[in-house]
Amino acid sequence: MNGQRKQHPRDGQSRSNRQRNGQPRNNQPRRARAHISGARIVAYDVLRDVMDRDAYANLALASRIREAKLDARDAALATELAAGTLRGMGRLDRIIELAADRSVKDIDERTLNVLRLGAHQLLSMRTATHAAVNESVELQRRVANERAAGFVNGVLREISRSTPEQWDRDIAAKAGSPDEALAAATSHPSWVVRALRDALRAEGRDGELEELLAADNAAPRVNLALLSGAGIAPDELAAVEPDSLNARGMSPLGLELVGGDPAGAISTAEREAGIPVGLLRVQDQGSQLAALSLVHAAPVRRGERWLDLCAGPGGKSAILAAEAVIEGATLRANEVSPHRADLVRDSLAGVVEIASPEAIEVVSHDGRTHEAYGCGAQTHELFDRILVDAPCSGLGALRRRPEARWRKQPSDLPELTALQGELLDAAVAHLAPGGVLAYVTCSPHLAETRVMVDRLLKREPGLRELDAKSAVRTAARNGETIDLAGDHLSAQLWPHRHNTDAMFIALLSRD
């Protein structure tokens, strides 16, 4: 492995000089194209969407699969290829560098994506070596520099000659520190590894770090929320649709998809069980519990006014709206982006159908301005319950959004935390006496969680922190016992411990 390597053909970092008609320079006819599975083309296109257009992988996957009209089997293969490659990209890049004997920075991005997909098949899937290599070579000829096909073949053949365990030992030997070795082997940036360790250590659980990193790289089951007002309970729906749904997980609204296409399962459930359209939707159970904790933090009085300050794309808003209808409260959902506000309206459409016209409204304003709260020149509107689901680093959703780990940098945090603090200050100013504010982030990073809450409590002596752990346990299915560690009143959910996104939940009340 560490000996002299044979020289590979250049990977085509310089552009191929072809005629405009697509013929090679020697004017020989182009070779007939070999077959490439539609799933591999879709997976490659998703990687390009993520890298070049900053697309979200899950949205790009759904769009590309629809465009290609893949059947269920090929759709599953495309999903594993694209999502698995994005989750493992850090480790794959280190292995490609060792096999190619050059930095990935010196490899054309299109060729690098072909290599990543091929290496993922060789190291993490049960794809036969010849199939992984041959289809990768043909994919290179189809989508990138055809002259680099030999380079792709040579690198992937080199990768196939060693086991994944051998490659991991080589990665560790090249790493500059234990943290760098762990980061490379688990495909997390080093700063993320350190941040996750700090968050676990704050709970006295830093020994769980490797388990957490492994959970981030495991494909999560699809979870759904069945909103209140659907006319059927989750366990009853699971009994109607046992082949597609299980009533499993911590949320009392939660269902787990057994298999198949979520949209198909939802459509079938709506038809077979008579569920109103829009009341069954895909949503992580950690997000479900975050919204429900605000409802269960204190008894609800009829006529309460609720606010979701950062509502887009509307998943938590829909839960709050459905609960508000039952409890006799009203909900104002605010989202700064007009486009995302439209997504909130779509998300709430099913609940609006069963609510009175004045019970739910969606507006689009900056959450730091008075307009977000419906204030006129002479008014100061107050709300009994406010959800601040603040923009954050997204480090808690790396299972579902694997690309997020490669997009954020430590330098992004000061701007994010400043925004979080400003949103909290504005929300507190509009919290009614005795009202409850839920501060939620999909991140366990201490700068975005406990540090933010502790600073807010120092700035606002009229606030007191409530027991979020108790509220989450009260909201959970059948009062389920949940392992919520640490001495703080806030609750931190984890992928490895709770099978949810790493949602942070803090509850505060104005005396």
Q: Are 298 and 283 in contact (CB under 8 A)?
A: no
* H helix and E strand count, the chain: 21, 12
Q: Are 13 and 107 in contact (CB under 8 A)?
A: yes
Q: For residue 303, say whether it is annotated as part of any ligand binding site.
A: no
Residue 266 CA to residue 258 CA, distance in Å, equals 12
Specify which residues 281 forms β-bridges with.
Answer: 225
Q: Which amino acid is at 244?
A: S
Six-digit token string for 44 = 């490659």
3-state SS, residue 386: strand
Of the residues 222, 225, 436, 442, only one is catalytic, namely 442
Residue 429 CA to residue 381 CA, distance in Å, equals 9
3-state SS, residue 301: coil
Residue 423 CA to residue 309 CA, distance in Å, equals 8
Q: How far is CA 465 from the centre of its chain?
A: 28
Six-digit token string for 496 = 């490895």
Q: For residue 357, say whether it is annotated as part of any ligand binding site.
A: no
Nearest Cα neighbor of 173 from 162, 184, 157 is 184
Q: For residue 366, say whether it is annotated as part of any ligand binding site.
A: yes
Cα torsion 97, 99, 102, 106 to 10°: value is -70
In degrees and rounded to multiples of 5, residue 365 shows phi and psi of -145, 160
Specify which residues 508 forms β-bridges with.
Answer: 437, 465
Nearest 5°: the CA angle 355, 360, 365 is: 165
Alpha helices in 230-386 (DSSP H): 234-240, 262-273, 285-296, 315-327, 338-352
Q: Are 484 and 473 in contact (CB under 8 A)?
A: yes
Q: For residue 12, say whether it is annotated as part of any ligand binding site.
A: no
Q: Which amino acid is at 474?
A: T
Cα torsion 31, 32, 36, 38 to 10°: value is 120
Q: For residue 208, say whether it is annotated as part of any ligand binding site.
A: no
Residue 488 CA to residue 203 CA, distance in Å, equals 9
Q: For residue 335, say whether it is annotated as part of any ligand binding site.
A: yes
Q: For residue 314, say whether it is annotated as part of any ligand binding site.
A: yes
Q: For residue 392, say whether it is annotated as part of any ligand binding site.
A: no
DSSP helix, strand, coil percent of the chain (3-state; round to 5): 50, 10, 35
Residue 163 CA to residue 381 CA, distance in Å, equals 63
Q: For residue 264, say whether it is annotated as part of any ligand binding site.
A: no
Q: Is the peptide bond before 313 cis (omega within 30 degrees of 0)?
A: yes
Six-digit token string for 363 = 């507006």
Q: Which amino acid is at 27?
A: N
Active site residue 442: yes
Residue 390 CA to residue 456 CA, distance in Å, equals 14
Q: Are 367 and 336 in contact (CB under 8 A)?
A: yes
Q: For residue 310, say whether it is annotated as part of any ligand binding site.
A: yes
Residue 94 CA to residue 9 CA, distance in Å, equals 20
Binding-site positions: 310-316, 335, 366, 389
Binding-site positions for S-adenosyl-L-methionine: 310-316, 335, 366, 389
Which positions are catalytic? 442
